[in-house]
Amino acid sequence: MNESSTPLPRGIVNAYWFQAFNAVSWQICNGSPLILFARDLGASATALGVLAGLPPILTIMQIPVSRYAADYGYKRLMLAGWSSRVAVLLLLSVLPLVAGPIPKDAVVTLLLAIMFFFNLLRGLATCSWMPWITSLVPERVRGFYLSRDRTFINFASVVALFVSGSLMVGHASMRGFALVFFLGFASGAVSLAFLKRIPDPPATGPHAAAAETVEWSQVFRDRPFMRLLAFGVALQLGLSAHGTFVLIFLREEIALGDGPILWISAGASLFGMLGLSMLGRHADRVGSRPYLGLVLAWWMVAIPAWFLIAADAFASPGKVAIGLMIAGGYMNTCFELALTRLLMNTVAGKPGQTRYFALYAVVVSSVLGLMPIAWGIGLDALRTLHASALGLVWNRYMVFFAAESVSLLGILFLLLRVRERRGESPAYMVQQIFVGMPSRGISMLMQRFR
């Protein structure tokens, strides 16, 4: 069976457009421009870690809300939360304009307060998104749906980052940030119009509310889910701080400007769009694990390469860094799609699925939030590190990338324990990573050049 025999629900295109405009807003107001703005204000690595950690940490609000999400209504809850968080973005767009009259330390404090409330509202609302979409999209086309969903998101991210980079190059720093953040606010406001048009979740009958009261002990006894949760936690423990501090590494160690960094990020998102259509269809046939393994194999090459850049092992470190960023955009998109699909299929149909999604989001996101903060404190403490060991003169970024490299071994072990309904075996996963996918890529190239 394929996507033609199992059609996507009518009106689901509104979900794509909501995700696109929401991605513009998110990419600007909680992504690279926000981190660069905070750094321009003189924020410490610890403060940057807090900014990166707020979105995942505040997903903890999903736990108390999960009990009432079905009763209140998934769509109604999303609309209430998203409308409120968009209103907060208006405050963010004004903040750069007061950075002159108000001391920069005070502006950093205001920035942290604004982003706290923004992410608090997001945490309250997102409890309903995954159950809502899972109930709308049939299992056999979830990979196909997610590939389209991620294509819209990546294209929107490309536009957001390219325009943001142009605004930063063409205007004075603080004025440029104000224009960028206002674009994020406007995009968030437009996304609400499409959110309202997404179909309501199907009626589930009078037993729906009772299903949401499933005991937490039952969730913890679900072995396939807990293995997936353990994998998600290990992943965030090892790699969740990577994106934040690579930006600072590019800015401070490679000496790239804010505009070029945003353009590189846009290029990574553009490259992430390539092959998404094929990926969605193929993942629906063979499962998500082959793609999770493929990306993990890439990380085992890419993260040691970042270590070598930090160790000054390349004659042109900027070119190598840009190449890693661009290729990483594709790999990270593959990974996110495959993991989201696997989570949806693992949880779908279980009593109390809202609690499963909430528990996964809260536990994984809490680690995702704490690790950038912990690494921010650590990198501040290691600012003056220049120590000789193992024949190398170590600096703080070498320590950071070395720790990430070692963590990949634990992530691989836990991935091999993850099980997938209707998925291929671990042996097939290894064969696809090292034989199947490279051979198909070579075959496609040969056909194009005939």
Task: Report how far residue 95's alpha carbon sits from residue 174's, in angstroms, rounded to the nearest whole number.
Answer: 9
Give the whole-angstrom CA distance, residue 233 versus residue 370: 12
Q: 154 pairs with which residues across the strands?
A: none
Give the pLDDT of residue 68: 74
Q: Which residues pair with 387 in a beta bridge?
A: 394
Distance from C-alpha of 368 to C-alpha of 55, rounded to nearest angstrom: 9
In angstroms, the CA 185 to CA 92 distance is 8
| pTM, entire model | 0.65
Task: DSSP letter for 200, please.
Answer: P
pLDDT given for residue 191 in this prediction = 93
Backbone φ and ψ for 311, nearest 5 degrees, come out as -85, 5
Mean pLDDT of the chain: 78
Burial class (CB in 10 A: 0-12, 13-18, 19+), 148: buried
Burial class (CB in 10 A: 0-12, 13-18, 19+), 260: middle
**Minimum mean pLDDT range among 215-229, 271-285, 391-405:** 271-285
**SS3 at position 421:** coil
pLDDT reported for residue 306: 83
Please check the confidence at residue 89 and state whether its pLDDT lies above 60: yes
End-to-end Cα spacing for the chain: 33
- Whether the pLDDT of residue 190 is over 90: the answer is yes
pLDDT at 103 over 90: no
Q: Report the SS3 class of residue 201.
A: coil
Helical H runs in 287-381?
289-310, 317-347, 353-381
Q: How far apart are CA 139 and CA 393, in angstroms?
A: 52
Crossing angle of helices 32-40 and 173-197, rounded to 10°: 150
Encode pLDDT of 154-183 as tens digits: 788 778 777 777 776 655 577 888 888 898
Burial category of 66 from C-beta neighbours within 10 Å (exposed 0-12, middle 13-18, buried 19 and up): buried
pLDDT at 193: 92
DSSP secondary structure, 62-90, as one string? HHHHHTTHHHH-HHHHHHHHHHHHHHHHH
pLDDT score, position 337: 80
Instruction: Decide if 75 contacts 360 (C-beta within 8 A).
Output: no
Residue 56 falls in which region: left (phi positive, over 0), alpha (psi -120 to 50) or beta = alpha
pLDDT at residue number 213: 55
Radius of gyration, alpha carbons of the chain? 22
Query: What integer pLDDT is reported at residue 290 of this predicted model?
Result: 78
At 256-312, the pLDDT tens digits run 666 677 677 776 766 666 656 556 566 666 677 877 888 888 888 888 888 888 887
Separation CA 359–CA 343 (nearest Å): 12
Distance (Å, rounded) from C-alpha 199 to C-alpha 9? 8
Set out the domains of the chain in order of their start, with CATH numbers.
Answer: 13-200+212-438 (1.20.1250.20)
pLDDT tens, position by position, 332-377 = 777 888 888 888 888 877 777 777 887 888 888 788 777 877 877 8
Find the mean pLDDT for residues 100-111: 84
Q: How confident is the model at residue 2 (pLDDT cuts 50, 70, 90)?
A: very low
More confident position, 434 or 205: 434
Confidence band of 194 (pLDDT split at 50, 70, 90): very high
Higher pLDDT residue, 210 or 391? 391
> What is the rounded CA–CA span in Å between residue 162 and residue 200?
34
Q: Which residue's entry shows tokens 């513009």?
A: 24
